[in-house]
Structure 1
Amino acid sequence: MNASIWAGVRQRVQSLVAAPGSNRVFGAVGHKFFLEDPLTLAELADLEGQMGVSLPEEYRDFLVHVGAGGAGPAHGVYPARLIQGRWRWEGDGAELADLSRLAEPFPREGANPEAVQALLSKRPEEEDFEEIEDFDDAIEAWNERWEPLMFSSDRTVGATVISTLGCAAREWLIISGPERGRIWSDNRADDEDLKPLLDGNGGPMTFARWYLTWLEEAERQPAPVPAAD
Structure 2
Amino acid sequence: MNDQWWAGVRERVAAVGAAAASGEVFGAVGHEWVLEEPLAPAELAELETQTGVRLPEEYRDFLLHVGAGGAGPAYGVFPVCRVRGRWRWEGDGADLADLGRLAEPFPEHGPDPELLKSLLSQCPEEEDFTDIEDFDDAMEAWDERWSAVLFAPERTAGAVAICHLGCAQREWLTVSGTRRGTIWSDCRADDVDLAPLLDEDGAPLTFARWYLRWLEEAERTALSAPSTGP
**Normalising by structure 2, what TM-score?**
0.91
Query: How many Å separate the matches in 2 of 1:201 and 1:184?
Result: 16
1:31 aligns with 2:31: yes
The Cα offsets for residues 87-113 of structure 1, whole Å up to 9 and x where unpaired, read as 000001111100001000000312566
Structure 1: which 4+ aligned runs deviate by more than 3 Å? Answer: 111-118, 134-138, 224-227
The Cα offsets for residues 56-113 of structure 1, whole Å up to 9 and x where unpaired, read as 0100000001000000000000001011110000001111100001000000312566
Query: How many Å separate the matches in 2 of 1:69 and 1:20?
Result: 23
Contact 1:20 1:224 in 2 (8 A): no
SS in 2 for 1:120: helix
Query: How many Å separate the matches in 2 of 1:48 and 1:66?
Result: 18
One-letter amino acid of the structure 2 residue matched with residue 4 of structure 1: Q
The Cα offsets for residues 23-46 of structure 1, whole Å up to 9 and x where unpaired, read as 110011121110000001111111
Alignment of 1:1-229 (within 5 A): 1-110=1-110, 115-126=115-126, 129=128, 131=130, 133=132, 135-221=135-221, 222-223=224-225, 226=228
In the TM superposition, residue 202 of structure 1 has moved relative to its aligned partner by 1.9
One-letter amino acid of the structure 2 residue matched with residue 9 of structure 1: V
SS in 2 for 1:15: helix
SS in 1 for 2:71: coil
Matched residues, number: 227
**Normalising by structure 1, what TM-score?**
0.91
Query: How many Å separate the matches in 1 of 2:19 and 2:33?
Result: 11
Query: How many Å separate the matches in 1 of 2:116 and 2:64?
Result: 39
Query: How many Å separate the matches in 2 of 1:125 and 1:208?
Result: 44
Structure 2, unaligned runs of 5 or more? none
Query: How many Å separate the matches in 2 of 1:224 and 1:140?
Result: 51
Query: How many Å separate the matches in 2 of 1:98 and 1:130?
Result: 39
One-letter amino acid of the structure 1 residue matched with residue 171 of structure 2: E
Contact 1:74 1:164 in 2 (8 A): yes
Query: How many Å separate the matches in 2 of 1:207 and 1:132?
Result: 50
Q: CA RMSD in A?
A: 2.1
In the TM superposition, residue 147 of structure 1 has moved relative to its aligned partner by 1.5
Contact 1:3 1:65 in 2 (8 A): no
Contact 1:22 1:223 in 2 (8 A): no
In the TM superposition, residue 123 of structure 1 has moved relative to its aligned partner by 2.7
Give the % identical residues. Answer: 64
Query: How many Å separate the matches in 2 of 1:178 and 1:131?
Result: 50
One-letter amino acid of the structure 2 residue matched with residue 107 of structure 1: P
One-letter amino acid of the structure 1 residue matched with residue 34 of structure 2: F
Structure 1, unaligned runs of 5 or more? none
Query: How many Å separate the matches in 1 of 2:33 and 2:131?
Result: 47
In the TM superposition, residue 20 of structure 1 has moved relative to its aligned partner by 2.9
The Cα offsets for residues 133-162 of structure 1, whole Å up to 9 and x where unpaired, read as 265443222102112222121111000000
SS in 2 for 1:220: helix
Query: How many Å separate the matches in 2 of 1:20 and 1:223?
Result: 9
